């Protein structure tokens, strides 16, 4: 048993992470999105592009009265030699490992998914990684299902992140408010009553008929990301 195993937070799911990985480590590291490709030349190219862009952008921000001091300070941040070295160190580790893994990066945060606890330990031991957290996928229900304590509907359909024109936003609102036998998630309900036009991928609607999705598609096609069957929590 590795020393990090006790740190894992269980995530109860209908499948493993990316359908094949049991464990993940998440962490913070400045400029980690330069690891979008695990290639040393690519990393150096991205670093040089960011340095050049920030030098040009600083001149524009100084002339703007709409940029606050805090925002300007964050965007003026230099990329240190230590940060560059840290990025290459992680790349070396991942390129040399024999373990199967998936690296996902976003801004200054990253996740590594794997079934190899030794790789998790190696990453955990890197002093450059901050805000480390660990997750373990526990499959507790059939695939494409969601478990609720007292379900009132048979299906839950999640929306895609889609930008709608004002007209389609109104059509969608009118359609959903005219449906008495569905449940709209609270966040989605707030969106329907607001002025923003982009749906979010955590919006959902609970319903009882798959034909309902056909009706929704007539209002605005291409909105649904996935549909899951709702099952009672005691099964």
DSSP code per residue over 1-30: --TTGGGPEEEEESS-BTTTB-EEEEEE-T
Spatial separation of the C-alpha atoms in residues 171 and 214, rounded to whole Å: 15
Please report the pLDDT score of residue 175 as a whole number. 95
Angle between helical axes of 211-219 and 166-177 (0-180°, round to 10)? 150
Task: State whether 205 and 94 are in the same domain.
Answer: no
Q: Where are the beta strands (DSSP E) in 42-163?
A: 101-106, 109-114, 130-139, 145-148, 155-159
pTM of the model: 0.79
Task: State whether 173 and 207 are in the same domain.
Answer: yes
Please report the pLDDT score of residue 38 as a whole number. 95
Task: State whether 20 and 121 are in the same domain.
Answer: yes
Residue 169 sits in a domain of what CATH number? 3.30.70
Task: State whether 152 and 40 are in the same domain.
Answer: no
The mean of the pLDDT values for the chain is: 90
Spatial separation of the C-alpha atoms in residues 214 and 235, rounded to whole Å: 29
Residue 149 has pLDDT above 70, yes or no: yes
Range of the domain at 80: 5-139
Task: State whether 114 and 181 are in the same domain.
Answer: no
Task: State whether 118 and 179 are in the same domain.
Answer: no
Please report the pLDDT score of residue 60 as a whole number. 67
Domain count, the chain: 2
Spatial separation of the C-alpha atoms in residues 152 and 150, rounded to whole Å: 6
Residues 53-96 have pLDDT tens digits of: 887 777 666 555 555 555 555 556 788 999 999 999 999 999 99
- pLDDT higher for 74 or 198? 198
Residue 158 has pLDDT above 90, yes or no: yes
Task: State whether 150 and 119 are in the same domain.
Answer: no
Q: Which residues contact 134 (CB under 8 A, 6 or more apart)?
A: 4, 7, 8, 9, 23, 24, 25, 26, 120, 124
């Amino acid at each position: 048993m590795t020393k990090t195993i006790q740190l894992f937070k269980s995530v109860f799911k209908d499948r493993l992470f990316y359908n094949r990985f049991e464990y993940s480590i998440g962490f913070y590291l400045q400029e980690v999105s330069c690891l979008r490709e695990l290639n040393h030349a690519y990393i150096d190219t991205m670093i040089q592009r960011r340095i050049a862009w920030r030098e040009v952008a600083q001149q524009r921000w100084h002339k703007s009265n709409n940029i606050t001091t805090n925002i300007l300070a964050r965007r003026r941040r230099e990329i240190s030699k230590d940060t560059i070295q840290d990025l290459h160190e992680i790349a070396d580790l991942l390129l040399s490992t024999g373990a199967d893994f998936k690296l996902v990066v976003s801004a200054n945060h990253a996740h590594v998914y794997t079934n190899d606890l030794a790789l998790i330990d190696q990453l955990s031991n890197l002093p450059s990684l901050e805000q480390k957290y660990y997750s373990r996928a526990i499959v507790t229900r059939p695939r494409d299902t969601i478990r609720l304590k007292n379900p009132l509907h048979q299906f839950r359909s999640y929306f895609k992140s889609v930008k709608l024109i004002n007209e389609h936003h109104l059509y969608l609102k009118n359609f959903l408010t005219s449906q008495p036998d569905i449940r709209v998630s609270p966040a989605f309900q707030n969106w329907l009553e607001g002025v923003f036009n982009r749906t979010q991928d955590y919006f959902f609607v609970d319903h009882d008929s798959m034909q309902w999705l056909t009706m929704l598609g007539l209002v605005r096609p291409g909105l649904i990301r996935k549909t899951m069957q709702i099952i009672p929590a005691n099964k």
